[in-house]
Amino acid sequence: MLVLLLSGMKETEMMNLNGIVVIVGNYGSGKTEVSVNLAVNRKRAGADVRIADLDLVNPYFRTREARKQLAEMGIEVVLPPEIYMNADLPILSPAVAGMIRNPSQLTLLDAGGNNVGATVLAALADHLAGKSVQMIQVVNPFRPFTDTVKGCLKMRDEIETASKLTVTGIIGNANLIDETTAKDIYNGYEFVKSLSQESGLPLAFITASKELLPELDMNHFSCPVLPIERQLVPPWKKAVRLGPANFKLPLNKI
């Protein structure tokens, strides 16, 4: 069993994330950045991690952009064959079906944005049948359509209908990219906490950039905090260089 151990959490706050975990969300939610950093976090903790890029919609900021660093850490990144890299049929890759058939300790599926991107999951229905699957919705309350609880619930319903799967939890990813402040993290946490109460879905964890962690009081949060080392950046910026699999942030920072 894989136990999620993130920044500032207590033993009673542990959430089990093992087997097949699908990460979904609307455009701009940051789900791919979350997927990549979750994979890195768990690999550093000694878990066997694989991640599949199922984003067929957004031509930018896909998991595949971080594949070199992930591979260097020993994280298997499952991609479609090269000839299908920009096509609409990467789901046909037998490697994707194989990793679902025999999941690793943590098998992450990074699905596309909104209900359109989630439709690819419906095509995997036969492979997912009978498997224990968690599907977690990433929410950035500073993005259109998910800046209200009602909007988040609507997005959840649309994703569930398109994917033929059920959302089982929430990830709070409040950020304004380079403009994010500690106050934004606190406000975002209160928002997703309200969303959790309204929806009845557990709050799996929230995120915060590694640079902001020293400014945050971890006792303020009743859920884990995933440190984000930004990987998906525009061409004029460089991704954060990831440490090896056995590298860890300082105590209380992870």
**Is 180 among the domain residues?**
yes
**Is 82 among the domain residues?**
yes
Q: Which of the four pLDDT bands, split at 50, 70 and 90, describes residue 251?
A: very low
Q: What is the pLDDT of residues 158-178, one digit of tens each?
A: 999 999 999 999 999 999 999
Indicate the length of the chain as a whole number.
254
β-partners of residue 167 are 135
**Is 253 among the domain residues?**
no
pLDDT of residue 105: 93
Q: What is the pLDDT of residues 29-38, one digit of tens each?
A: 999 999 999 9
C-alpha of 26 from chain center: 12
**Is 252 among the domain residues?**
no
Question: How many domains in the chain?
Answer: 1
Q: Which of the four pLDDT bands, split at 50, 70 and 90, describes residue 222?
A: very high
pLDDT of residue 91: 47
Q: How far apart are CA 147 and CA 195, in angstroms?
A: 11
17 closest CA partner among 155, 186, 29, 34: 34
HEC secondary structure over the chain? CCEECCECCCHHHCEECCEEEEEEECCCCCHHHHHHHHHHHHHHCCCCEEEEEECCCCCCCCHHHHHHHHHHCCCEEECCCHHHCCCCCHHHCHHHHHHHHCCCCEEEEEEEEHHHHHHHHHCCHHHHCCCCEEEEEEECCCCCCCCCHHHHHHHHHHHHHHHCCCEEEEEECCCCHHHCCHHHHHHHHHHHHHHHHHHCCCEEEEEEEHHHHHHCCHHHCCCCEEEECCCCCCCCCCCCCCCCCCCCCCCCCC
pLDDT of residue 253: 35
Higher per-residue pLDDT: 239 or 65: 239
Least confident of 80-84, 107-111, 233-237: 80-84
Task: Report the CATH number that the domain containing residue 178 is assigned in CATH.
Answer: 3.40.50.300
pLDDT of residue 232: 74
**Is 165 among the domain residues?**
yes
Predicted TM-score (pTM) of the model is: 0.86
Instruction: Please say whether the beta carbons of 227 and 253 come within 8 A.
Output: yes
pLDDT of residue 81: 58
C-alpha of 161 from chain center: 20
**Is 251 among the domain residues?**
no
Domain that holds residue 224: 11-228
pLDDT of residue 58: 59
Q: How far apart are CA 149 and CA 2, in angstroms?
A: 30
**Is 72 among the domain residues?**
yes
Average pLDDT, the chain: 83
**Is 2 among the domain residues?**
no
**Cβ-proximal residues to 154 (8 Å cutoff; 6+ apart), any chain:** 145
Instruction: Please say whether the beta carbons of 107 and 23 come within 8 A.
Output: no
